[in-house]
Amino acid sequence: MSKKVIVIEDERNIIEAISFILSRDGWDVVTHSNGHDAIDAVRLRKPDIVILDVMLPGKSGFDILQEIRGDGELGQIPVLMLTARGQEKDREMAQRAGASAYMTKPFSNAEVLDAVRHLATV
Amino acid sequence: MATLNVLVLVCLSYVALLFIVAFMADRAAKQGRARWLRSPVIYTLSLSIYCTAWTFYGAVGFAARSGLEFVTIYLGPSLVMIGWWWTLRKMVRVGRSQRITSIADLISSRFGKSNSLAVFVTVIAVIVLAPYIALQLQSVTLSFDTVASPDFIATKDASGQQATALWVAAGLAVFTILFGTRNVDANERHHGVVMAIAIEAVVKLIALLAVGVFVVWGLSGGVGATLDRIDASPIATWEVPGSRWVGLTLLSAAAFICLPRMFQVMVVESEHEDHLRMASWAFPAYLMAMSLFVVPIAVVGLDMLPADANPDLFVLTLPLMEGREGLAILSFLGGFSSATSMVIVAAIALSTMVSNHIVMPIWLRSTGGSAIISGDVRSVAMLARRLAIAVILFLGYLYLRLSGGGSALAAIGLISFVGAAQFLPALMGGLFWRGATRSGAMAGLGLGFVVWLYCLFLPSFGPSGILPQTVFENGLFGMSWLRPYALFGTEGMDPVMHAVLWSILLNAGSFILVSILSLPQPIERLQGAQFVNVFDHSSTPGGWSGGLAQSEDLMIMAQRIMGARDAQTLFAEEAQRQGLGGYLPEPSPDFLNRLERELSGSIGAAAAHAMISQIVGGATVSVQDLMAVADETAQIMEYSSRLEAKTDEQARTARQLREANEKLTQISVQKDAFLSQISHELRTPMTSIRSFSEILRDTDSLSGEERNKYASIIQEEATRLTRLLDDLLDLSVLENSQVVLNQQSGTLFDLLERAIAAADVTGKLRIHRKPEREKVMLNTDLDRLTQVFINLISNAGKYCESDTPELRIKAETRDGDLVVDFIDNGEGIPRNHQAVIFEKFARVGETKAGGAGLGLAICREVMGRLGGSISYVPGQAGAAFRVRVPMEAGQHVQAAQ
Amino acid sequence: MRRGPPTIFVQERTYKRRRMADAARMLPILGVILFMIPLLWSDGETGPDSTRTAAVMIYLFVVWAALTGVAAVLSRRLGPEEDTPEDSATEEDAG
């Protein structure tokens, strides 16, 4: 059974791109596009890996990450954070919040794939 | 008996001796070796010009006629001297601090430096002096005739004395001119004259004492026998009228202060204020010594000499009768000394007044006051004084001629005394009452002088003299209440007391009344303050600590000004320096000066002086003080207003700085946020582009449909990027006001047509308009306004969430502005977002493709540039934006930000 | 007596000086009163029993001398302050 990835991102085109890449690599990709109920989606889908955008409508990615880390059942899920702001302090905040990996947009497809594969082995 | 020639020789020798003394004294003074000249002893002796021939001859005559009454003439001055702390001290201090040259000068200075008052006082003084000079002439003439005549018993019938008197007058005039006008001293001091007067004072005292001793122990046979003789004499009983006893004492006290010659020696010639201290007791002692043998001489004279002998000459005739020629000559010299010293000083004093207050002003005015060469002034002053002396002596001679020359010496002297006493109200009022005014002084002096003239001076020429007999009997103009000896019906009074009573009463009364009623000039008030409170601010050497300051008060004041610690340090230091413990030093002049300096550092010199003098004693200030205070106050005010302005400015600057700082912080925050936003907005489409381009490149097994779709995404995102960059550039240009407005004219209708077409919403959005309302001409940058409209219409197209999206566009003119509302039928914008929708990158709700969040920010900037505005109108059916644009944009375009 | 121990107890000296000034002010008033007292004697009858001139004369001169003496003492005590090192008779320099 293939591993499941949830992509929490509000940009349609980016979701489509990531879905395409990961699906081709054999991942089961689900998507979610707003911050409000992102944590519910994670609980529902029980993914193996979470790809999380920082700037989401409704709730910041950092807040969602904290919620995931605060949840006993989901606490250990690897989370890959994506950000478009490209600022150093975002990387630090992500690390403090407990992100497993961090990636700045625009990324190359190979980078994303490598990161997801890597997280899956940990 | 001595012949006239011998007498003249003796006199000339004596005069020569005085000249030598005066010459040496002057020279010593010039060479600065004159410490002894300025001793209080000399000062005390110079005061003895009070004792004139009246004292030397007249006192005995007075006693022979009225008993002890004569002594009142000496009790008055003694009391004044003993009471120096009250009056004389102040007079001398004022005289020195104001550089007073005469009593006329003092009075005129006090009352606003009024020259008319000075002239008035001078004229009165000259007239008042005439009887006194006459008295001296008469006594010297009598003594000459007595000593020189074979029959030494001088009688009251003295018709042949007129010629002698003229010679005496001329001689005295020459003598006085030689003595008194050799130099015009800058400060009107005459060292030589004062020295000569001191010698004469000694001579007359010794002469009188010698005669007294001769009479008591030589003729009477001791003190006891003399007392017995007194008991047996016609003046054995004490029956002096109370009014005369009191009145004459007061009169003599007043005259002692007011006589111009006394003022001259006491104030003008005073070397040092401190000399008064010794004179305060030594002069009464001198007067006592002069009075000691008067009654015995009078009694013995009455007893031993013929009944028709002139009692005024007992001092001379008693030794002559006993054949004591040496003693007689000494006595003669004593009388001569008395007369000459008085004439010299009185003439000097009056000639100074005449020259300073009458001649010099006239001369200066006549010469235009322009070409004043010191030598000129000097010679004119000298000439004026010499002439004045001659005139004064001539007036004295004239009085002697007119009055008949037969009166008792004391009676003549009292006339002068009453005249001089008229100065008293103005003088004392001036020294002690700040409210005294020039008009008051004029009125008092005038009325007193007139009463004196009418009641005493003119009647003294006899019943058939100047005043006709009828005036004496029926009064002036037949008004009986104006009889000279019974003014207002006061009959039966002693004429002298009568004149004293009315003249002083009317004088003082009118002085006070007019002073109260009249308004003094500012200079009078200033001078008044300076005179009355002379001790509070004058710093004449002499060490008077005039008004002892309270150290504690000074401390309190200093603490307020300097701060507690500094003030305490200063005071403690000073206390230690004075050898005291604690914090309160003695308020010595040194310390006061130091304190003043310290304080002036804080509050300015004049203010410091004023404050200290306020504490040390009354609050008086000189003109200079006032000026300085005013100047300083002005400066302080200017300074503080400048300071205030500066403070304001500082506050303003601080506020501006704070605002700028806040702005900068805000801008910094905004910049960070903006950069984040920009980064996000740029990276997001870039991510898609990169991702899909990699997919297109790396994936071989893509269907044509997929390939087409992904290429479309790349194109779409690239367009989005371009639009974003366009918007950013546009916004940057607008914000930096580099935008150049392109003014055009057009109708709103056309604009909206263009905007709707450009917004490309056909089919997506139904638009309701009222074209008839849109026929409004606009003169503005039509392209920019269209940009705003496009933005609003396309926003409605993008965000209106209705199933059948509609947009109503309403136009109307309001207050010269065109107001266009864009109202859709969507949900509108939540209240909490309404405030931020015009901010950059503000987006409401979930992103729909293409929205960078800059559109409304650009609209706001554009409308600002056009002089209009754009706002969100809440409470409408859906989202409602209102654009307000001025009809004539040119007038409303705002200045660049 | 003016030159006692120097500046110690200046406060007291100042106090005394003020009282001396008060006394100097009062002295002439006392003098006036004393000199006017003989007027009270002349009240009543004139005749052989009335007041003798000699007696009044002696009284007056005694009072006069006493006033002079007191004035002398007061004037010495009211001398200048410390700035005068020598006796007042010779204190001043030329100029």
pLDDT band at B852 (very low <50, low <70, confident <90, very high): low
Count of alpha carbons within 13 angstroms of residue B365, beta-carbon side: 7
Tell me if B548 and C53 make a contact (CB, 8 A cut-off).
no
Alpha carbon A109 to chain centroid distance?
15
**Distance (Å, whole) CA A53 – CA B684:** 11
Identify all chain B residues contacting C71, using CB atoms and an 8 Å cutoff.
Answer: 81-82, 280-281, 284
For chain B, the maximum distance between any two Cα atoms, rounded to a whole number of angstroms, is 179
Asked whether the beta carbons of residue C71 and residue B81 sit closer than 8 angstroms, the reply is: yes
pLDDT digits (tens, 9 = 90+) for B733-776: 887 777 777 888 888 888 888 888 888 787 788 888 888 888 88
The DSSP string of B208-259 is HHHHHHIIIIIII-SHHHHHHHHHHSTT-B----HHHHHHHHHHHHHHHHH-
Dist CA B270 CA B196 (whole Å): 15
Residues B200 and B53: their CA atoms lie apart, in Å, by 12
Positive or negative, the CA dihedral B863, B864, B869, B871 is positive
Nearest chain A residue to B688 by CA distance is: A14
Q: How does pLDDT run across B856-871, given as a tens digit for each residue? A: 888 888 888 888 888 8
Q: Is the dihedral of CA B576, B578, B581, B584 positive or negative?
A: negative
Is the pLDDT reported for residue B542 higher than 60?
A: no
For A102, the domain range is 4-121
How would you class C13 by CB atoms within 10 Å of its CB: exposed for 0-12, middle for 13-18, buried for 19 or more? middle
Instruction: List residues bridging with B746 in a β-sheet.
Output: B778
Q: How far apart (Å, rounded) are the C-alpha atoms in residues B39 and B30? A: 16
CA dist B110 and A32 (Å) reads 109
Shortest alpha-carbon distance between residue A72 and chain B (Å): 30
Place of tokens 């304080």: B599
Section B819-827 average pLDDT: 87
Q: Is the pLDDT of residue B849 over 50?
A: no
* CA–CA separation, B89 and B95 (whole Å): 10
Report if residue C28 sits inside a domain: yes
Q: Report d(CA A35, CA A58) in Å as an integer.
A: 5
Closest of A28, A26, A32 to residue A14, by C-alpha: A32
Residue C87 pLDDT > 50: no
C44 close contact with B: CB closer than 8 A: no
- DSSP SS3 for B806: strand
Instruction: State how far the Cα of B795 lies from the Cα of B420, in Å rounded to an integer.
Output: 114
Q: Residue B630 class from Cβ within 10 Å (0-12 exposed, 13-18 middle, 19+ buried)?
A: exposed
pLDDT tens-digit readout, A64-112: 888 888 887 878 889 999 888 767 777 888 888 888 888 888 888 898 8
Do the domain assignments include residue C2? no
- Name the amino acid, one letter, at B329: I
Q: Which of B41, B281, B578 sits opposite C10 (nearest CB)?
A: B578
Rounded distance between C-alpha atoms, residue B526 and residue B548, angstroms: 23
CB–CB of C94 and B78 under 8 A? no
For B405: left if phi > 0, alpha if psi spans -120 to 50, otherwise beta; the answer is left
Please give the pLDDT value at position B352.
Answer: 80
Q: In 3-state terms, chain B is what percent helix, strand and coil (to 5)?
A: 70, 5, 25
How far apart, in whole angstroms, are the C-alpha atoms of residue B350 and residue B181? Answer: 12
Quick count: other Cβ atoms within 10 Å of Cβ B697?
Answer: 9
Whether C75 sits inside 8 A of B271 (CB atoms) is: no
Instruction: Show the domains of chain B with their CATH numbers.
Output: 41-406 (1.20.1730.10), 545-621 (no CATH), 629-728 (1.10.287.130), 737-892 (3.30.565.10)
Average pLDDT over residues B835-851: 61
- Give the C-alpha separation, B341 to B350, whole Å: 14
The count of structural domains within chain A is 1
**8 Å CB contact between B889 and B779:** yes
Least confident window among B298-307, B655-664, B783-792: B655-664
Averaging pLDDT over each range in B173-177, B182-186, B298-302, B889-893, which range is the top one?
B298-302
Q: What ipTM was estimated for this complex? A: 0.92
pLDDT at B110: 85
- Say which range, B78-82, B447-451, B783-787, C46-50, has the weakest mean pLDDT: C46-50
Listing DSSP states for B438-496 in one string gives HHHHHHHHHHHHHHHIIIIITGGG-TTSSS-HHHHHH-GGG-TTEETTEETT-TT--HH
Chain center to CA of B266: 28
pLDDT digits (tens, 9 = 90+) for B22-47: 888 878 877 766 667 678 888 899 99
Q: How far is C78 from chain B (nearest CA, A)?
A: 8
Radius of gyration of chain B (CA): 54
Would an 8 Å CB–CB cutoff place C31 in contact with chain B?
yes
User: How far is it, in rounded angstroms, from Cα B408 to Cα B414?
Assistant: 10
- Strands B482-483, B486-487: pairing is antiparallel
d(CA B620, CA B529): 6
Bridge partners, A8 (sequence order): A32, A52
Task: Kindly tell me whether chain B and chain C come into contact, counting contact as 3+ Cβ pairs under 8 Å.
Answer: yes
Among the ranges given (B131-135, B157-161, B646-650), the one the predictor scored with the smallest mean pLDDT: B157-161
Which residues on B lie below 8 Å from C82 (Cβ)?
543, 588
Chain B: residue nearest A18 by CA? Answer: B691
Residues whose CB falls within 8 Å of the CB of residue B225, separated by 6 or more in sequence, listed in order: none
In this complex, the residue of C6, C60, C68 whose CB is nearest that of residue B284 is C68
Question: Higher pLDDT residue, B485 or B159?
Answer: B485
Suggest the residue from B277, B287, B578 to mutate for an interface test with chain C (most C CBs closer than 10 A): B277
Chain C residues within an 8 Å CB radius of B543: 80-84
User: Which amino acid appears at position B675 of this protein?
Assistant: L
Percent of chain B with pLDDT over 90: 15
B777: helix, coil or strand? Answer: strand
Which residues are B777's β-sheet partners?
B747
Q: Do the Cβ atoms of B246 and C36 come closer than 8 Å?
A: yes
Distance between start and end Cα atoms, chain C: 29
Residue C24 is part of which domain span? 17-42+51-80
Domain with A47 in it: what CATH number? 3.40.50.2300
> Who has greater pLDDT, B50 or B360?
B50
Mean pLDDT of chain A: 86
Residue C61 sits at the chain B interface (C-beta within 8 Å): yes
Residue B680 at interface with chain A, using a CB cutoff of 8 Å: yes
Q: Phi/psi of residue A69, each to 5°?
A: -65, -30
Residue B564 has pLDDT above 80, yes or no: no
Looking at residue B114, the DSSP 8-state letter turns out to be -
Instruction: Look at residue B211 and tell me whether its pLDDT is greater than 90.
Output: yes
| Burial group, residue B328, by CB count within 10 angstroms (0-12, 13-18, 19+) | buried
Quote the crossing angle between the two packed helices B409-421 and B495-517, to the nearest 10°: 10
DSSP secondary structure of B710-769: HHHHHHHHHHHHHHHHHHHHHHHHHHTT-----EEEEEHHHHHHHHHHHHT-TTT-EEE-
Lowest mean pLDDT among B124-128, B373-377, B494-498, B673-677: B373-377
- The answer for B354, left when phi > 0, alpha when psi is -120 to 50, beta otherwise, is alpha
Phi-psi region of B541 (alpha: psi -120 to 50; beta: other; left: phi over 0): beta
Q: Are strands B777-781 and B743-747 parallel, antiparallel or unpaired?
A: antiparallel
Given a contact cutoff of 8 angstroms between Cβ atoms, the answer to whether A118 and A101 are in contact is yes
Tell me the two tokens of residue C9: 């107890």
pLDDT of amino acid A104:
86
Question: What is the structure's pLDDT at B837?
Answer: 78
Per the structure block, which two tokens stand in for B626? 């006032």
Nearest by CB to B586, which of C14, C69, C79?
Answer: C14
| Average pLDDT score over residue span B41-54 | 89
Read off the tokens for A51: 């790809």
Query: B764 in contact with A at a CB cutoff of 8 Å?
Result: no
Beta strands at A49-53 and A4-8: parallel, antiparallel or unpaired: parallel
For the record, the structure tokens of B241 come out as 């009228």
Please answer yes or no on whether C42 and B239 come within 8 Å at the CB atom.
yes
Taking the C-alpha atoms of residue B501 and residue B456, their distance in angstroms, rounded to an integer, is: 12
Subunit contact C67:B85, Cβ cutoff 8 A: no
B731 pLDDT band, cuts 50/70/90, is confident
Interstrand relation of A28-32 and A49-53 (parallel, antiparallel or unpaired) = unpaired
Stated pTM of the model? 0.58
Question: What is the C-alpha to C-alpha distance for residues B431 and B775, in angstroms, rounded to an integer?
Answer: 97
> Where residue B150 falls among pLDDT bands split at 50, 70, 90?
low
Q: How far is B230 from chain C (nearest CA, A)?
A: 6
| Chain A interface includes B705 (CB < 8 A) | no
- From CA B174, how far away is CA B386, in angstroms rounded? 9
SS (H, E, C) A31-84: EECCCCCHHHHHHHHCCCEEEEECCCCCCCHHHHHHHHHHCCCCCCCCEEEEEC
Model confidence over B679-704: pLDDT tens digits? 888 888 888 899 999 988 888 888 88
Please give, rounded to a whole number of angstroms, the shortest distance from the CA of A18 to a CA of chain B.
8
Number of domains making up chain C:
1
Residue B580 Cα to chain centre, angstroms: 36
Output the CA–CA distances (angstroms, integers) from residue B538 to B90, B110, B418, B615, in the order listed: 11, 15, 33, 15
